[in-house]
Amino acid sequence: MNYLKRATTVITLLCLGFSMQAQELPPVFGAEYTGKSFKDSRTRVYLTPQRIVWTYDGNGQLVRNSEGLLQAGNNGQSELTDKQVCVLKSTDNEFPSVLLDFGKEIQGGLQIVTSAGGNGPVKIRVRFGESVSEAMSTVGGTQGATNDHAMRDFTTEIPWLGVAEVGNTGFRFVRIDLIEPNKTLSLKEVNAIFTYRDIPYLGSFRSNDERLNRIWLTGAYTVHLNMQEYIWDGIKRDRLVWLGDLHPEVMTVSTVFGYNEVIPKSLDLARDITPLPGWMNGMCSYSLWWVIIHRDWYAYQGSLSYLREQQPYLTGLLNLLLTKVDASGKEKLDGGGRFLDWPSSPNTKGIDAGLQALMVLAFQAGADMCTALGDKSLAGKCAATAELMQKQLPPHNQLKQAAALLALADMLPAREANEEVISVGGVRDFSTFYGYYMLQAQAKAGNYSTAMDNIRQFWGGMLDMGATTFWEDFNLEWTENAAGIDELVPKGKKDIHADFGAYCYKNLRHSLCHGWASGPTAWLSEHVLGVQVVEPGCKVLRIEPHLGDLEWVEGTFPTPQGVVFISHKKGADGKIKTEVKAPKGIRIIRKR
């Protein structure tokens, strides 16, 4: 199964969402049932392992027929047979282990099916890992492995001649250890339980550069995995709705999936659990991102009725933010963490500049939404405050994150920001989160070719290390003399997962599936495929491709009116021939 491209739409599940109607239960529950029920909007698919990475066979008699686990079973049904069964057998002091690779990072758990050959329940240890080294690690060890947010290392009992389902985390690799002496465990099947929203990939991107194609799809898949009950930032750790981190995910969802209820559901959750004057997630910048996200979501989806639902909170938040600007136009945000992203944390002067620019962007977004909502008074205050704040230019202090925001807020010429800060050292000091805004600033500077090369090097660098999803953080320097995440680390090599990281993502706590790292997916569709939203609801689209060194690119883009098809081919003379097929109700503006 190619579950990166699986695009079957399960209409019933999508419509049900998380319904809380008790009458959906079987009639036997009757009226006397006074509890609440809900149905999951996700589906489950069972996946067989793709590879046996490693076994511990001790005396050579502990593991038999581990390759049998790679064969498809009978849909998780236990049987009275020992054919094609993997047998683990322990002694007084030897305990067998097997390490499985499911081929791609997934979100879910594990189904363990046992068969004839045992006698009574058996204790095992299960270790999930986003990398081989994580699956081989111990919680609390020197490599920093944890059970934070999701249990990924635990012992459990499984039945003889039965089925057990355990775990709920992000993983690709699973290690199973038989931990009791003188026991036999007959494993008929060990299947990953892939839990995800069964939704179509409406957006697409294809070109003559397979590396860019793979990066686009990997970013889309990274966000898809994080579209669970709510949209999370990470499926192993950071299973939370983080508002700043959410912006790149919203742009990717809009580019790949179009409308999905997980976005408004998550935005509303953040609103409802953060009464004013509180800051979302305890950080002032994340309330700014809530404003910006709503403007962008409205631009792509065009739902004025949903925007009106936000108006009371939006009005209150914008009025609160107006009190956080002094008479000269300088921001004075307080009472919440002054934060852009983790790698920028030591550069406090750069953070000051970034927050000034982010305030401008938030007020501009607020003015746009208040205008759409008919609140001319507040729209005018937001626009005037944004203009006043643009006159203040705090030093970026060579921080790429700050320079990018200053350029996007029209406070610093984009070419200057790009040439003097962002492009210096190539992808050195890029971050997986703010790398998206660095790419956006480079596009604004007209430096599309360099931005594409940065995508190939930085995000492609993760793929080179075995990634199937994009990571919480990454530095290209980490790859020097390092082993990939899909192998046991040879002696003399660095461990790309266990040996690096900082702040909250040290060593194996580091998440290898983080939605905020998906920026290149939205960027490639916007600037290479060239699709730009001009009017809310995608009623007007501008098609302005920048192919750089590509010979051709084609793809699709979801809108509320339907899917738009775009194709660009570069001729021998360098001129680009463009074909666009759009549904009725969409006006296309082409670059002349």
HEC per residue, 463-476: HHCCCCCCCCCCCH
Structural element, H or E, at residue 383: helix 376-390
The DSSP 8-state label assigned to residue 41 in this structure reads S
Provide the residue type at 567 as one letter.
Answer: S
Domain boundaries, the chain: 1-41, 44-196, 219-460+511-528, 535-590
Place of tokens 């404003």: 291
* Contact call for residues 45 and 25 (beta carbons, < 8 A): no
CA 75 to chain centroid: 30
* Contact call for residues 115 and 74 (beta carbons, < 8 A): no
Q: In sequence order, which residues have a C-beta less than 8 Å from that of residue 42 and are 6 or more positions away? A: 13, 195, 196, 197, 198, 228, 229
pLDDT band of residue 12 (cuts 50, 70, 90) is: very low
The DSSP 8-state label assigned to residue 279 in this structure reads P
- Looking at residue 24, what is its pLDDT? 66
- Looking at residue 14, what is its pLDDT? 27
> What gap in Å lies between CA 21 and CA 37, rounded to an integer?
6
* Contact call for residues 167 and 109 (beta carbons, < 8 A): yes
* Contact call for residues 528 and 207 (beta carbons, < 8 A): yes
- CATH class of the domain at 44-196: mainly beta
> What gap in Å lies between CA 294 and CA 197, rounded to an integer?
23
Q: Cβ of 581: how many Cβ atoms within 10 Å?
A: 12
The average pLDDT across 436-443 equals 98
Q: What is the DSSP string of 497-543?
A: TTS---TT--GGGS-S-BGGG-HHHHHIIIIIS-EEEEEGGGTEEEE
The DSSP 8-state label assigned to residue 5 in this structure reads S
User: Percentage of the chain surpassing pLDDT 70?
Assistant: 95
The average pLDDT across 319-346 equals 95
Residue 6 has pLDDT above 70, yes or no: no
- Looking at residue 142, what is its pLDDT? 81
Question: Taking all residues of the chain, what is their mean pLDDT, rounded to a whole number?
Answer: 93
- Looking at residue 487, what is its pLDDT? 97
Residue 90 has pLDDT above 80, yes or no: yes
Provide the residue type at 479 as one letter.
Answer: T
Predicted confidence (pLDDT) per residue in 202-255, tens digit? 999 999 999 999 999 999 999 999 999 999 999 999 999 999 999 999 999 999
Lowest mean pLDDT among 37-41, 289-293, 511-515, 585-589: 37-41
Peptide bond connecting 277 to the previous residue in cis, omega within 30 degrees of 0: yes
> What gap in Å lies between CA 442 and CA 427, rounded to an integer?
12
- Looking at residue 15, what is its pLDDT? 31
pLDDT band of residue 9 (cuts 50, 70, 90) is: very low
Alpha-helical segments (H) within 123-205: 132-135
* Contact call for residues 465 and 495 (beta carbons, < 8 A): no
Residue 13 has pLDDT above 60, yes or no: no
pTM (two decimals)? 0.93
> What gap in Å lies between CA 386 and CA 322, rounded to an integer?
10
Look up the CATH architecture of domain 219-460+511-528: Alpha/alpha barrel (1.50)
Strand pairing of 51-56 and 97-114?
antiparallel
Residue 10 has pLDDT above 80, yes or no: no
Provide the residue type at 587 as one letter.
Answer: R
Predicted confidence (pLDDT) per residue in 62-72, tens digit? 999 999 999 98
Same fold, 44-196 and 219-460+511-528: no
> What gap in Å lies between CA 396 and CA 348, rounded to an integer?
10
Please choose, from the candidates 292, 587, 228, 580, the residue with its C-alpha nearest in 3D space to the C-alpha of residue 436: 292
Please choose, from the candidates 224, 214, 218, 114, the residue with its C-alpha nearest in 3D space to the C-alpha of residue 166: 114
> What gap in Å lies between CA 147 and CA 126, rounded to an integer?
12
HSE at residue 427, side-chain half, CA atoms within 13 A, is 24
Joined together, the tokens standing for residue 252 give 């990717």
Provide the residue type at 68 as one letter.
Answer: G
Residue 31 has pLDDT above 80, yes or no: no
> What gap in Å lies between CA 354 and CA 364, rounded to an integer?
15
> What gap in Å lies between CA 345 and CA 11, rounded to an integer?
44
* Contact call for residues 184 and 118 (beta carbons, < 8 A): yes
Please choose, from the candidates 433, 473, 475, 426, the residue with its C-alpha nearest in 3D space to the C-alpha of residue 447: 426
Q: Is the sign of the CA dihedral 259, 260, 266, 269 positive or negative?
A: positive
* Contact call for residues 87 and 182 (beta carbons, < 8 A): no
Predicted confidence (pLDDT) per residue in 259-303, tens digit? 999 999 999 999 999 999 999 999 999 999 999 999 999 999 999
* Contact call for residues 128 and 135 (beta carbons, < 8 A): yes
